[in-house]
Structure 1
Amino acid sequence: MSTITTRDGTEIFYKDWGSKDAQPIVFHHGWPLTADDWDAQMMFFLGEGYRVIAHDRRGHGRSTQTDTGNEMDTYAADVIELAAALDLRNAVHIGHSTGGGEVAHYVARAEAGRVAKAVLIGAVPPIMVKTEANPGGLPLEVFDGFRAATAANRAQFFVDVPTGPFYGFNRPGAKVSQGVIDNWWRQGMMGGIKAEYDCIKAFSETDFTEDLKAIDVPVLVMHGDDDQIVPYADSAPLAAALLKNGTLKTYEGLPHGMCTTHAEIINPDLLAFIRG
């Protein structure tokens, strides 16, 4: 397996496919998944001649099951180390859900020349939890419920999430894929429960407002308006408005996991943005 070892001794697993001379596209996965969640995008962009890279966030997948550092500052620092180790320049960083927060946090801190563009898909910025400054957010009790379910029986919780809201499989007429559900469960159970538990706070309570304001490169914000995990109204439009060079693209009726369920729609739109 390909790994880097960070300054605190954590091993970060990554995939790095394609010509090292090609423009790199780096994919950042959601909670509690792995680099494997990007299979449909990795294969598509590899076929289009890009260098494609995806890592397992610390505590997730094949990376070290860390009990510390499971928060956005360290996640971004890990990406900084990965980008340096692979000498990534002029890269496009694409993040889904929690990975979208990681992208915002990283791109705002990246060395000059490292990042060309970024994409936030069904992403958590600006901030998910309800606060005085974010009255449209989800109550803290929602995320307390996530923590309780993860701690009590994550094996069952990691069946319930993909079977229900993540892919919109709970909607009338939805085309349910048992393989997709099983693959979500497989990825979630590969990670460490402590890291996954901690990550709930990271994705729900981190305020990415200043990150979004600091980003200079073009950013595409893609979001399904039937996203039951990261509600549309309190995320994508607000994030796009904070960006200096942001473009909002809304997908009518599409779910949180639209990169998997509707890759035939999402991939060409990503390609158009990257080439544009």
Structure 2
Amino acid sequence: MLKKFSLILVASALASNVLADTQRANYDSSPSRAENTGFFTGAALGAATGGPAGAIVGAAMGALVGNGWNAKEQVVDLQSDLYQSQLELAALQEQSAATRRQYQLAQLELERLKTATPRVLPAFLPTQTSEACCDNTVLSVHFRTGSSTIESHYEEQLQSLVKLAKQMPSVNVEITGYADRNGDAQENLRLSRQRSDSVKQFFGKMGIGNSSISTIAYGETRPVQTTQSFETDFFDRRVMVKLRDSSKQLLTQTPDGE
């Protein structure tokens, strides 16, 4: 028994020397706790059963086992990182799907507006009833992002509105421009003015004098809904055209100083 105990002490001393040499030779890769535990445990068991030779073999086997424990811990860490990445990817995919749904809704609404029957009906009315019929007639014209160009599918509706305006002896055409809340507020105010001017120029080309047209621009200050979304932005990019009997009510002074 005393002999075996002596061998264990010798093996531990040898293991310490070998481990020290390994640490000196590998300054940047210190052995892990699992490797150290395996190394010394293997050396002790090997010495107890097989003498000095058994100590060396046992130490080597113990180090391998300890290295295996360390590798298993690394696999667990990698699996945890992979699971977290999968969760983040799923969240991004869900967000992308929601954005696509909003875009599809906006496209459907745009198609509906393209094919909708013009609200301004009829185009020709008896003279004696034109004022009563046409006062307060309203048309909404929507625009693309950052654009002040009138889409072609609105031109027919605007032409019908012009015909009604010509039948009113004291007509005033009120043109009000808006913008969505994306970007700079001053830029959005300028864009809403440009949209109002585009509609004003359309009426001018159709024979309505500038003296019968009033324009106003609100920029992004009067959204359709308080909560901004991809869908509501579409409805905020608009110009409202209203026919008024100028003998009853005139457009108030514009808030933007025009």
Same fold, TM-score > 0.5, yes or no: no
| CA radius of gyration, larger in | 2
Q: Which has the higher contact order (CA 8 A, sep 6+)?
A: 1
Q: Could you say which structure has the higher strand fraction? A: 1
